[in-house]
């Protein structure tokens, strides 16, 4: 995990990453990374996460042929995706922002959709095709703030 690698190598002083989501459960990559890298947990906090269906401008819901996102985001929207895209492939990406970036750069099919935040839509000039597609009304995610082991405040 890049955040913990950065902490360990001292290329960054602090890092933040998701640990668990109310619907999607534990973020396995985070657990594995914590077991592999030494760091000190300095903060734990919840953020309300809003997931949206993103696409290139001009693409509509009926045009979307496949959905890309991080497995956690796909899990958080499983009811919506099952209802609206049950015949379309759901393709896991390393993270939501990476999927959005790849779509905006033309590295995914033009008719692909991405599950991601409104910030991803803004950052990568994507349209929000359907807002608030997460299944839980209060889609809370637990984040950890970390620093290098032994840092004094």
When mean pLDDT is compared across 6-15, 106-115, 119-128, the lowest value belongs to 6-15
- Per residue in 6-22, pLDDT (tens digit) is 998 999 999 999 999 99
Q: How high is the pLDDT of residue 91? A: 98
pTM of the model: 0.85
User: Domain 52-130: what homologous superfamily?
Assistant: Periplasmic binding protein-like II (3.40.190.10)
Interatomic CA distance for residues 150 and 73, integer angstroms: 34
- The full set of domain ranges for the chain reads 2-48+139-147, 52-130
- Please identify, in words, the CATH class of the domain defined by 2-48+139-147: alpha beta
* Whole-angstrom distance, CA of residue 31 vs CA of residue 113: 28
| Cβ–Cβ under 8 Å, residues 73 and 116 | yes
Task: Report d(CA 126, CA 55) in Å as an integer.
Answer: 6
């Amino acid at each position: 995990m890049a955040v913990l690698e950065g902490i360990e190598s001292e290329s960054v002083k602090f890092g933040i990453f998701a640990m668990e989501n109310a619907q999607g459960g534990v973020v396995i990559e985070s657990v594995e990374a914590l077991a592999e890298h030494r760091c000190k947990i300095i903060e734990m906090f919840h953020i309300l996460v809003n997931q949206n269906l993103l696409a290139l401008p001009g693409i509509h819901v009926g045009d979307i042929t496949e959905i890309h996102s991080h497995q956690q985001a796909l899990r958080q929207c499983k009811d919506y995706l099952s209802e609206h895209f049950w015949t379309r492939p759901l393709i896991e990406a390393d993270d939501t922002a990476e999927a959005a970036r790849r779509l905006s750069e033309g590295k995914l099919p033009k008719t692909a959709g991405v599950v991601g935040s409104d910030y991803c839509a803004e950052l990568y000039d994507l349209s929000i095709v359907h807002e608030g597609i997460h299944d839980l009304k209060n889609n809370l995610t637990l984040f950890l703030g970390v620093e290098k082991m032994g840092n004094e405040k």
